[in-house]
Amino acid sequence: MPALLWNRSAFSLQESILRPRELAEFAKQQGFDTVCLTDHNVMHGQMAFFSLCRKYGLRILYGIELDVVRNDTKVSYLVYATSVTGYVAMMKLSSRISDTHQPLPFDDFITMCTDCRIVLPLSNCVFTDLLLKGQQEESFSLLNELTETIPNLSVMCGPVRSRLWDIANEKTVEYCHLHGIPFLIGNLATYPTAEHQQSFQILQAILQDKTLNDPALKVPNNQHLLTMEEYCFLPERMQKDTEKFVTECYFDMDFPSTSLPVYPSSQGVDNNEYLKSLCIAGLQKRRNNKPIPTEYKTRLLQELQVIQSMGFSDYFLIVWDFILFARKNNIYVGPGRGSAAGSLVAYCLGITHVDPIRYNLLFERFLNPQRITMPDIDVDFPDNKRDDVIAYVIRKYGEEHVCRIITFGTFGAKQVLRDVGKVLSVQTRMIDALIKTIPNDPKITLKEAYTQSKNFRELVHSDPVYVKLLQQAQPLEGLPRHRSVHAGGVVLSGKPLHDVVPLIRMDTNTVATQYSKDYIEPLGLIKMDFLSLRNLTTIDEIVQEIQLHTPLDILKIPLNDPKTYTLLSNADTVGVFQLETEGMKELLRKLKPQTFDEIAACLALYRPGPMENIPVYLKNRQNPSGITYPHEDLKPILQETYGVIVYQEQIMQISQKMAGFSLAKADILRKAMSKKDESILTGLKEEFIAGCIANKYDSKIAHSIYDLILKFADYGFNKSHSIVYSLVAYQMAYLKANFPLTFYRSLLNSAIGREDKLQDYIQEIKQKNIKVYPPDIMKSTNQFEITDDGLLIPLSCIKGVGATVCKTVLGTRSLHPFTDYIDTVVYLQNNKMNTGLIETAISAGAFDCFNLSRTTMKENIAKILQYAQLVKVEDNGQSAFDFGLVPKPALTTYADSSVDNMNKQYDALGFYPGQHPIEYVKKIHDIHAMTIKYAANTRGEVSVFVQISKIKEHRTKKGEIMCFAVGVDETGSMDFAIMPNTYNRYRTILYKGNYLLINGKIEDRNSCLAQNMIEYKLK
């Protein structure tokens, strides 16, 4: 029976649109019993394809298509493994070619092909090129030479494509039959059916950066999957050779696997004992050398027993070691992440920093002896130092045993429309218009956008161009588009990695697995996530700055600090991890948390789904005596969350309390509930009910409790994760409440280059009566700096002053300290700061230190540059200045306009460091009105004073002219709708830049229906 032997999937990036699932489904539907995935030089899809073949009951061969160079000629060969050894050889061949990104040298290729069959596909190879040119003798001479060099060489050819090709096939079949060379049936497939030819063309056009009608676009034809009928008409000899080849190559395979590297301890004891000794010492340190409660001793020994029985002692030692390295090298480490915070062992080792017993965190949520999975300890590091820790792990265990993990960027909904639109020559403005109607969800599909967005749907059907674009984009959506490195994933292996997984070099310093993260664990590879968290960088910077003058251990700050809870209750959480969104702020204002546990509950509740429970939580917190528990025995479990099931751990504890489940079995129930796994739930429900009855609970109560926890399984959050991330949030809130200047300095530095963020942060800072000073050419650096009573803006915030110019200015200032305006301009223009940039810096306020009006400084630049030429001298080939040669010029003075200065300062910086023009206008007219920020949170009648920044007229269905306007003040912007009658009354004063007091009505957030207006002019 024929087999599908030569198939490139979409993982042969941009060389195919054939998805592994489509290949498996096609084989099943057509009645092929054997199929092979032969991606070009890579093996990304092998394990996923293996799973699909198992699902569809197909036999799988393991193959790859490799580029090989011989005598300066590149030829693609197909390689098929005949054993596990052959599969390992394939991985090494792929790893080699993916490391150098060059074809394999022929001799190395032959040497490395252990337990493999090599096949020469005749289409598009040098052999066939010679044959089609009529050079039969040369072509057969080459084939004869290859058969002498390559053991068991086979050739492969597909169905007839033309009369000339038919002749070549006949001659080759005859030659192969005469010389005993197996001749196989195989046709390169890169797309599912002939109807997908155009989609493949579009992909190639994207790859070649051409339009579909470009005559230079080169796309091969007839590369679709062939049906059984299309194969079966070929000569019987070819069919027999193919069947024999398939039989020889087929084998059942367990993928090569590995285990953890052994932690290289030098303590003279085995690693189980070493881990135990570290934990005992760590627990004594955590308890400040006070007597250790029995509960802690018992829990520690139980955890160690589970860890050792599962063979994970080395895992904990490896994590402990790289965290120790980080701390020794002044790299801040997060307090933990995920369910690992439920481990007392992790707490004793310093891997996590919350006491799991104090917070009722469960070890079984992290490591369950009844549900064997790899441990998963993810660690957060500052984003600017994480790579240092990864580099340490690679050095310690060797590049052969540690590498990164690949991930694939795909054609997302917006990207595929843009790429396909360009290929189809659709106008850019049309593509932009369509993309703007897609909901802002990075995971949304085109089908979902069509269903969810009325605007998208209507625009698609408004023009046949859009219809065609959508039709042509959908087949490519979701296909792999490019490779990248998983954000923090690192794998470790006891065996050399190339014996377990194919590898690929991503850049000079980075090697990654060719398999994505979903296929790592089945190979025995341990994945660890070294995650970068920008907020840790912020905490680290703030703490280091504070420690210059005040002792501070961020891990030992009090968790009951009054200032911190005042800040949280006021929702003063801009810049605070996890607590910045408006919705979270609203929850904080209502809750006014008074304990650390309540902060954790906020993080757990403020998510889609659990939000439904917020009103009940707040009501019960307000009146704890009115809480009704499902059963009085559950009060100790639910009391901390006021009778509401908030955490997954509470579901486990309820199962333990009422049904007598072990925590390990309770975790299995919890997971089955969250995944709605009916195959497991049916039996567990019966056990749960029976357990409750055995524990003397009424059957009705047992059923109601089961239904309750089943309902909350979707809502429950991992308490361990909530606690540790609440600690990060609390740390940032504590720093903001107690060290505001240092906090804001770091926050502002993190936002340099993002003008909208800087404006928001600076507005908040000013509201707290902290002064923000404009850049100062004599004092500013490349970062925000703390002054006696405020913050100084860096030179790098001035438009046009990038890192290079800033470095030049600071270097010039260190060599020639600036003393007055004239000297400063002379030195700066000599060091590549042109007139335009100097004027921008003046507008930004950087030269205000010289006590001259900004207009005076700008108007006299030309005069100063003439003076510079007069005092310029050469000193050993270098330019210098002798200010004694000529008297300095007298400067002509000019007056400034306050509002003009403010607006030009905004243009130079992108934000207002000092007074906003509208504040100035309010003051001179003594206007008292709502700010936009306040009005945006109001419903009903409002009165706001704004400057108009945008006007757009619109014709209604009745043909009348109305207007949409945007107004701004010092706190933000607001949209205004001005209906035809109102617009007719006020259109003479509705223009960009004018100052208006607008009275109106707000029904929807941040949009106001204007009713009347009053104009105010500058005096």
Span 734-755, pLDDT tens digits: 999 999 999 999 999 988 888 8
d(CA 375, CA 338): 11
Residues 18-51: b if buried by 16+ CB within 10 A, e if exposed: bbbebbbebbbebebebbbbbbbbbbbbbbbbbe
Q: Which ranges constitute the DSSP H helices of 360-500?
A: 386-397, 413-423, 428-436, 446-452, 454-460, 464-473
Residue 267: partners with Cβ closer than 8 Å, 6 or more residues away: 274, 277
Give me the pLDDT at residue 575, please. Answer: 92
Q: Rounded to an integer, what distance in angstroms lies between the CA atom of residue 966 and that of residue 934?
A: 16
Phi-psi region of 756 (alpha: psi -120 to 50; beta: other; left: phi over 0): alpha
Report residue 814 as tokens: 């260190």
Using CB atoms within 10 Å of the CB of residue 797, give its burial: 0 to 12 exposed, 13 to 18 middle, 19+ buried: buried
Q: Are 286 and 348 in contact (CB under 8 A)?
A: yes
User: For residue 984, what are the contacts with CB-CB under 8 A and spacing of at least 6?
Assistant: none
Residues 6+ apart with CB under 8 A from 359: 597, 719, 723
pLDDT tens track for 825-848: 999 988 878 899 999 999 999 999
Tokens of 315: 């895992």
Q: Report the C-alpha gap between 105 and 74 in whole angstroms.
A: 9
Q: What is the pLDDT of residue 1006?
A: 61
- Dihedral class, residue 950 (left if φ above 0, else alpha if ψ from -120 to 50, else beta): beta
pLDDT of amino acid 758: 87
Q: How far is CA 480 from CA 45, 518, 562, in A?
A: 11, 15, 52
- pLDDT given at position 759: 82
Q: Where are the beta strands (DSSP E) in 840-981?
A: 872-875, 878-881, 940-955, 961-969, 972-978
Q: What is the CA radius of gyration of the chain?
A: 36
Whether residue 272 contacts residue 301, with contact meaning beta carbons closer than 8 Å, is answered with: no
| Pairing outcome for strands 104-105 and 59-70 | parallel
pLDDT average per 10 residues of sequence, the chain (1019 residues): 90 93 95 95 95 94 95 91 96 95 94 94 73 75 85 80 63 80 88 92 91 86 86 76 93 88 88 96 93 95 95 94 95 91 96 95 90 82 92 93 94 94 92 90 91 90 92 94 90 93 93 93 89 90 94 94 96 93 90 95 89 92 91 94 93 94 92 85 91 94 93 88 95 96 93 84 86 94 91 93 88 89 91 89 95 95 91 79 87 91 90 86 90 86 92 86 90 89 93 92 81 87
Residue by residue, DSSP assigns 714-745 as TT-B-HHHHHHHHHHHHHHHHHHHH-HHHHHH
At 542 the pLDDT is 95
Determine the Cα–Cα distance for residues 661 and 664; give it in Å rounded to an integer.
8
Distance CA 864, CA 861 (A): 5
Q: Are strands 972-978 and 961-969 parallel, antiparallel or unpaired?
A: antiparallel
Predicted structure pTM score: 0.84
Contact assessment for residue 527 and residue 393, using Cβ atoms and an 8 Å cutoff: no
CA distances to 39, 142, 156, 242, 289 from 150, in Å: 21, 12, 15, 18, 71
Q: Is the dihedral of CA 877, 880, 886, 892 positive or negative?
A: positive
Residue 814, Cβ neighbours under 10 Å: how many? 8
